[in-house]
A and B are shown apart, each in its own frame.
Chain A
C-alpha cells in the first residue's frame, strides 16, 4: 500500500455517530522508550472499533491510558466529550473494560467477585449481577471458585464484569488471549451481542480474522505510531486485485501495464494479478479483448485484513 493511499485512508471517515472517545496527540514515554507517539483516535458511538498492532506496538499502553491506569506523558483523552483527567471517575463509570487475561480473586466465586466489584462501583443490584451472569452463560457456574474456572469462563466473567454498569463504551484488550478455538468462538459469539443497544466496543485483538468479521473500523499502530485508521471495508477494498488466467500472460501483462489507471500488474504462476480500481473488471476484460486476449478466468481477489496488517507492519507476523 502506498503512502498516498495510507494518507487517504487516514482522512477517510465513516459518516454519522457522535464521538465517544477521542485521543489528541496522546503520547507515553517509559524512560527512553516512546511507547505511544502522538496518537489521534476517534471512536464513534455504536461502532465496533478494532485496535491492532504487533506485540509491543503500544496497544495495551494506550488502553491503560484510556482507563486511567497509566498517566500520559503528553496529549489528551476525551471520553464522552469531556476531558478525561478532569472527570476520570464520571467517565469511567460509563466504561467497561477487560485488559488481557481478566483478573479476579481466585478464592472467591464468580458471583462473589462480581459482588465485590459491584460494591466498589456502587449502585449495582444483585439482579443486575444475575443478569450479566446469564448473558455470558455463567449462571450455572457462578457459585464455583474463580480459580477453578477455565480460561474461557474467566474471559466470560471478565466480560460480565464490564457489563455491570451498563457501559456505553466497552474496551476489550485481547479478549481471546490464551483461549482454545472453542473459547474463541464463545467470545466471538458474544461480541456482536455486546455491540447491541448503541454500545461502542473498542477491541484490541490478535485475531485479525475475527476483527475483520466484527469491526466497523480499525486502527493499526506500530512502535507507538498509528499507521492507518479506516473503515474496514475501505481498507480491504484498497487491497482488492483482479486475478486473470490467460493463454499468453506475457502479452496480457504488456497490454495492461501500459494503462495509466492500473497501479500494477504482476505474474503469479499461470495467473496475472492486476491492482486496479474497484469495479474495473469489465474495463480490464475489454482492454484484453481489444488485444485479442480472452481470459479463461477473471476473478476478484480480495485481500484479508491479515495481509493488509502484515503489509503495513512490515511483515511482522508475531501477532
Chain B
C-alpha cells in the first residue's frame, strides 16, 4: 500500500512536469504565457511547486496511509494480537502516528527529489538555461521553513482521518470523511463568506482558511483549489494556533476513544 501510494505521488509529480513542459512548448513563439511556465520548470521553483502539489494530493495520500494503518489492524484483527503484546494502547497508537509521520516526511523528501529530477529533465528537453543563482542561504532557509509548514498543514487532515478510522474501526470512514472534510469545507466556507455579517467570521475558526493562511507564506506558483479572499484570511499566529487546536482535539479524541473502546471480535 505504502509503495503504491508513493508511486502515485511520483506519478502525479511526473505528469504535472510533463504537462507544464508541453504547455511551455505549446506557448513558445506565441509571445505570452510561455515564460511563467518555463520559470515553473526551473530548479528554483521545484520546492514550492512540489509542496504546493503536496497540499491537495499529499492530504489524500496521507489520509489513506494513516487510515489504512489503523483500519487494516481491525480488518485483519491483528489489533487484538498487538494490544495483547503492547505495553499500552497509547504506545501502540503513538507508534502508528510516528510511523506515518515519518512516512509523510519521507514522501515529501522523495517528492521534492523527483521534482528536481523532473526539473532537470524538462529544462534539458525544453532547451532552457540552467540557473543556480537562486540557491542563496535565504532561499534555502525559506524552502526549509516552507517544507515544515507544508508538513504542519497536512497534520490536521491526517489526524481527522485517523480519528474517524478509530471511531469506525475501519479505514473507509477515515478516508471518506477525512477527504470529504478537506473538499467540502472549501465549499462551505464560500457559502459562509457570501452570507456576510457574523456568519462570515465563522470560517476564521475552520480548518481550511487557516491552512490557506499558512500555505500563502510559501508563495506557491499554483493556486490550491480553495475559495478565500486574502482580506478575510486570519493572521498567522491565529492560523497556527487554530490548526494546533484542531490537531490537539483530533488526537486527544482519537486516543480517548481508542483507549476506552472494547476490542471485540
Contact = CB atoms under 8 A, between A and B. Distances in A.
B263 A69 contact: yes
A100 B81 CA distance: 11
Interface in B77-134: 77-88, 92
Contacts of B82: 117, 120
B122 to A, nearest CB: 36
Contacts of B194: none
Contacts of A101: 77
A117 B77 CA distance: 14
Contact of A117 (B85, B260, B265): B85
In this complex, which of B84, B88, B262, B264 has the most chain A Cβ atoms within 10 angstroms of its Cβ?
Answer: B84
In this complex, which of A61, A68, A120 has the most chain B Cβ atoms within 10 angstroms of its Cβ?
Answer: A120
A117 B82 CA distance: 7
Interface in A95-114: 95, 97, 99-106
Interface in B31-81: 76-81
Contact of A105 (B78, B87, B260, B265): B78
Interface in B233-265: 260, 262-265
Given A120-B86, A121-B85, A103 B80 contact: yes
> In which size bucket is the chain A interface?
20 to 34
A116 to B, nearest CB: 8
B76 A71 contact: no
A161 B84 CA distance: 11
> In which size bucket is the chain B interface?
10 to 19
A70 interface: yes
B84 A67 contact: yes
A69 B83 contact: yes
Contact of A99 (B88, B260, B262, B265): B265
Interface in B150-177: none
A70 B263 contact: yes
30 contacts: A60-B265, A64-B263, A67-B80, A67-B83, A68-B83, A68-B84, A69-B80, A69-B84, A69-B263, A70-B262, A70-B263, A70-B264, A71-B260, A88-B88, A89-B87, A89-B88, A92-B84, A97-B84, A99-B80, A99-B265, A103-B78, A103-B79, A103-B81, A104-B78, A105-B78, A106-B76, A117-B81, A117-B82, A121-B85, A122-B87
Interface of B: 76-88, 92, 260, 262-265
What 3 A-B pairs come out closest when comparing CB atoms? A103-B77, A69-B263, A70-B262
